[in-house]
């Protein structure tokens, strides 16, 4: 192997002196690899010496050295600032141990081993060491299985015995937290399954449908590399097998199926997207007959080089963004998708254009966008997707046969798991009853939510008889299940004492204190015990009025250096923001400002439909805009707090009668802001009410342009979409009447 030497110098918060790094001359190019590592080291700040120590553990030119370099070159920011040399080395060392210990390990190609066995993560979960533990626990069972297929099924049975499916928040929990809780949503079970497979040298990666076409929602499963190819299997689903699962039939109608992989570099698979430290592969053709969207983007008839088109499909009451088509120098681009109709949008210099395109299996669907048109989507139409009922029935029958054969054993295994949790709950309940603990019913909800960490919740609850016990109990009862599992008992008790001492500081009342000071969760950041560190860092602001603290908070948040984050790796925790001076975008900066105010006793909150935050003063909410002491000079902020307009939406049935509140916001209807790049930004939490007297849903909205959508589906899930452009003026009113029923006759023809 050809080697070159890179001298990495000092960076802000980075290595304190130059270091010689032996850079493998990989196919991607030694210079490019060196630049990626240098960027990671710069972002790592004070943790850079740990990464350098890890890189220097292995003899240059060896496979282990190449693997270590690959990990660091693609390390997400949250891992770069926190993972130690020992933690990273655990993944490299045990990957090679498992490669030698398993019968199939030596036959796995190097590129597959490097990308789908060595890496420590597969999604946005917080990094939690697990490789050694999983290898020690699972390797005897895997080796005894004899081959990679049987070993995979054995690992999946093990996961099913430890954790089951349960819906939860979109924030990913760590691998070990899923096992401690005993539950997770599909992505979290997949993360745990992938981690367990990789520990015994089974190459594994996630694969997902970002949006189902036959219904709302999405799904993620696992692909296993075996016998020279990738095979789908449901994570923690004992009724799934290689190429067989409940999700296989609906995937026939998928718009796209994509598989994110750790790292950047060459591959023979079609690429869907490339981001920092991650390559996303387009797997659509392996799940459904696919075709190609071919788009051309113009400006007054002239091609727009390197333009981008955003691809949408209906989901819920609006549209879900699938991805981007990046065009070439002639303004042309393409994307492979499943058969059906798609909405395309593009934008540049404040002008946008949208168009519909239909793609049939094996064919091309062409669309032409021109920025000079400056148009938004409008009107009513069926949005078709391809269906293959005969194939789906055959695939469904294969799944049902496996499910029937395994159901009895599945029931036994699940009963054992549930019995374990019931025993924890029973013991905890008895202890609380004997101790006379207040609010036992509420506390037991938290104990059950914490799964195998129920005893730690009990341990914290037993401290609630202290002077600050009521505050401690309030804090614990307000925590999400994922935070209950991730918390440290001593740190949680310490935070409760701090919070108890802040009562009355703001003068905004107990309700505001409970809702906007006490919670440790600010946004979607991973759990951390941040409150004491923030209170100490900003102690000079203690006792100051809310506007003074808010001004200091937005300036401090504005000083956080924004770093690029890829699709792998979690957001930075608030504690990491504080310790590193980094933030992955404006929203993390806003959360940082909220944390400053809360740590000093002032109510503050994030906004779901804006990228700034708010603080409460004098009974009124005021903007917290990172980096700006006076946020009102921003047009969007000024519109948000200025005079609003009103949208009245009346829904009628086919006979013209008012349909009442039959449509649910988010599920059936949605408002979105058109963005300058052709995107659509949904409003998650608009100010709305149903006015019985008017028979209408009434929205109070900041001035601006919105896209109103109403989506209804037929018995096969085919959506009918009604789209209206709504311009809201300050103090103005707009009334829209939409029919709620589907048009007679159903969708024309059939696709697929």
Q: List the Cα angle 129/135/139 in 5-degree steps.
A: 165
- 578, 567 Cβ separation under 8 angstroms: no
- 257, 269 Cβ separation under 8 angstroms: no
Measured in whole angstroms, how far is the alpha carbon of residue 747 from the centre of its chain?
A: 34
Reported as a pLDDT band with limits 50, 70 and 90, residue 750 is low
The residues near 545 (Cβ < 8 Å, ≥ 6 apart) are 617
CA distance 297 to 677: 13
Please indicate whether residue 583 or residue 564 has the higher confidence score (pLDDT): 583
Please indicate whether residue 205 or residue 442 has the higher confidence score (pLDDT): 205
- Residue 4 reports pLDDT greater than 60: no
Query: What are the angstrom distances between the C-alpha of 297 and each of 300, 307, 319, 539, 735?
Result: 10, 7, 21, 54, 34
Each residue's pLDDT tens digit, 108-166: 999 999 999 999 999 999 999 999 999 999 999 999 999 999 999 999 999 999 999 99
Q: Which CATH class is domain 643-739?
A: mainly beta
Per-residue exposure over 199-216, b if at least 16 CB sit within 10 Å of its own CB, e if not: bbbbbbbbbbbbbbbbeb
Q: Across all residues in the chain, what is the average pLDDT? A: 91
The residues near 527 (Cβ < 8 Å, ≥ 6 apart) are 126, 482, 483, 486, 487, 520, 521, 573
Each residue's pLDDT tens digit, 679-696: 999 999 999 999 999 999
What is the percentage of the chain residues whose pLDDT exceeds 70?
94
- 464, 470 Cβ separation under 8 angstroms: yes
- Residue 14 reports pLDDT greater than 90: no
CA distance 385 to 751: 7
Residue 7 confidence (pLDDT):
31
- 512, 530 Cβ separation under 8 angstroms: no
Average pLDDT over residues 383-387: 94
Reported as a pLDDT band with limits 50, 70 and 90, residue 747 is confident
Q: At 257, is the secondary structure helix, strand, or coil?
A: coil
- Secondary structure (H, E, C), 581-629: CEECCHHHHHHHHHHHHHHCCCCEEECCCCCCEEEEECCEEEEEECCEC
Plot region of 110 (φ>0 → left; ψ -120 to 50 → alpha; else → beta): alpha
Residue 438 confidence (pLDDT):
80
- Residue 429 reports pLDDT greater than 60: yes
Number of Cβ within a 10 Å radius of residue 119: 25
* Annotated domain spans of the chain: 3-203, 504-641, 643-739
- 631, 625 Cβ separation under 8 angstroms: yes
**Closest by CA position to 599, among listed 579, 582, 615, 581:** 615
**Which pair of structure tokens corresponds to residue 619?**
């009974």
On the CB side of 595, CA atoms within 13 Å amount to 31
Burial of 397 by CB count in 10 Å (0-12 exposed, 13-18 middle, 19+ buried)? exposed
Find the range with the poorest average confidence among 169-183, 503-517, 653-667.
653-667
DSSP 107: G
Q: At 731, is the secondary structure helix, strand, or coil?
A: coil
Residue 270 confidence (pLDDT):
95
Residue 18 confidence (pLDDT):
41
Helix pair angle (63-73, 30-44), 10° resolution? 60
- Residue 591 reports pLDDT greater than 90: yes
Query: What are the angstrom distances between the C-alpha of 161 and each of 197, 393, 417?
Result: 15, 30, 6
Residue 497 confidence (pLDDT):
92
Average pLDDT over residues 727-739: 95
**Which pair of structure tokens corresponds to residue 388?**
């293959």
Q: At 532, is the secondary structure helix, strand, or coil?
A: helix
Burial of 18 by CB count in 10 Å (0-12 exposed, 13-18 middle, 19+ buried)? exposed
CA distance 79 to 48: 11
CA distance 431 to 446: 15
Each residue's pLDDT tens digit, 286-308: 999 999 999 999 999 999 999 99
**Which pair of structure tokens corresponds to residue 156?**
């999946």
**Which pair of structure tokens corresponds to residue 70?**
């690959």
Each residue's pLDDT tens digit, 183-195: 999 999 999 999 9
In Å, the largest CA–CA distance within the chain is: 79
């Amino acid at each position: 192997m050809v080697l070159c030497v890179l001298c990495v110098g000092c960076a802000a918060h980075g290595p304190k002196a130059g270091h010689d790094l032996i850079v493998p001359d990989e196919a991607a190019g030694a210079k490019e690899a060196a630049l990626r590592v240098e960027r990671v080291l710069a972002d790592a700040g004070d943790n850079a010496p740990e990464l350098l120590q890890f890189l220097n553990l292995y003899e240059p030119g060896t496979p282990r050295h190449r693997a270590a370099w690959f990990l660091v070159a693609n390390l997400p920011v949250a891992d770069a600032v926190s993972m130690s040399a020992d933690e990273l080395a655990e993944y490299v060392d045990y990957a090679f141990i498992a490669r030698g210990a398993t019968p199939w390990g030596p036959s796995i190609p190097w590129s597959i081993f490097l990308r789908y066995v060595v890496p420590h993560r597969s999604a946005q979960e917080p990094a939690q060491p697990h490789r050694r533990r999983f290898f020690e626990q699972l390797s005897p069972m895997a080796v005894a299985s004899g081959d990679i297929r049987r070993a995979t099924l054995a690992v999946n049975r093990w996961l099913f015995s430890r954790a089951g499916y349960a819906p939860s928040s979109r924030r990913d929990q760590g691998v070990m937290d899923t096992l401690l809780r005993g539950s997770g949503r599909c992505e979290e079970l997949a993360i745990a399954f992938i981690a367990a497979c990789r520990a015994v040298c089974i190459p594994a990666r996630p694969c997902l449908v970002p949006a189902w076409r036959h219904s709302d929602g999405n799904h993620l499963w696992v692909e296993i590399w075996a016998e020279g190819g990738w095979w789908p299997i449901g994570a923690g689903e004992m009724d799934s097998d290689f190429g067989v699962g409940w999700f296989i039939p609906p995937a026939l109608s998928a718009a796209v199926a994509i598989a994110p992989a750790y790292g950047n570099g060459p591959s023979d698979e079609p690429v869907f997207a490339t981001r920092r430290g991650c390559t996303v592969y387009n797997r659509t053709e392996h799940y459904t007959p696919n075709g190609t969207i071919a788009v051309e983007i113009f400006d007054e008839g002239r091609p727009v080089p390197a333009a981008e088109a955003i691809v949408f499909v209906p989901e819920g009451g609006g549209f879900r963004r699938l991805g981007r088509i990046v065009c070439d120098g002639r303004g042309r681009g393409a994307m492979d998708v499943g058969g059906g109709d798609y909405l395309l949008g593009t934008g540049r210099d404040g002008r946008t254009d949208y168009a519909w395109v239909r793609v049939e299996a094996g064919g091309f669907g062409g669309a032409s966008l021109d920025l000079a048109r400056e148009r938004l989507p409008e009107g009513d139409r069926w949005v078709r997707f391809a269906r293959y009922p005969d194939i789906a029935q055959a695939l469904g029958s294969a799944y049902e046969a496996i499910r029937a054969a395994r159901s009895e054993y599945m029931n036994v295994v699940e009963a054992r798991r549930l019995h374990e949790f019931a025993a924890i709950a029973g013991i905890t309940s008895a202890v609380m009853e004997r101790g006379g603990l207040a609010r036992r019913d509420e506390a037991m909800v938290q104990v059950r939510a914490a799964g195998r960490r129920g005893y730690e919740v009990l341990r914290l609850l037993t401290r609630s008889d202290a002077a600050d016990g009521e505050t401690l109990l309030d804090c614990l009862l307000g925590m999400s299940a994922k935070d209950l599992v991730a918390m440290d008992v001593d740190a949680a008790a310490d935070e409760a004492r701090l919070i108890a001492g802040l009562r009355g500081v703001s003068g905004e009342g107990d309700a505001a204190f409970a809702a906007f000071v006490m919670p440790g969760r600010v946004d979607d950041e991973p759990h951390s015990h941040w409150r004491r560190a923030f209170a100490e860092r900003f102690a000079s602001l203690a006792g100051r009025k809310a506007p003074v603290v808010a001004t200091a908070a937005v300036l401090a948040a504005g000083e956080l250096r924004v770093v690029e984050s890829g699709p792998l790796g979690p957001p930075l925790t608030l504690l990491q923001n504080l310790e590193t001076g980094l933030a992955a975008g404006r929203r993390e900066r806003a959360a940082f400002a909220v944390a400053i105010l809360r740590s000093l006793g002032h109510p503050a909150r994030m906004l779901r439909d804006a990228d700034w935050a708010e603080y409460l003063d004098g009974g009124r909410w005021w903007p917290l805009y990172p980096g700006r002491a006076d946020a009102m000079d921003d047009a969007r902020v000024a519109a948000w707090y200025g005079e609003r307009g009103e949208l009245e939406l009346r829904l009628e049935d086919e006979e013209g009668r008012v349909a009442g509140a039959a449509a649910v916001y988010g599920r059936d209807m949605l408002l979105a802001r058109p963005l300058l790049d052709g995107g659509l930004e949904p409003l998650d939490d608009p100010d709305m009410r149903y006015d019985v007297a008017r028979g209408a849903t009434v929205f109070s909205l900041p001035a601006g342009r919105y896209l109103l959508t109403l989506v209804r589906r037929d018995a096969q899930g085919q959506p009918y979409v009604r789209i209206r452009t709504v311009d809201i003026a300050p103090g103005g009113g707009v009334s829209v009447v939409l029919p709620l029923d589907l048009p007679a006759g159903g969708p024309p023809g059939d696709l697929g």
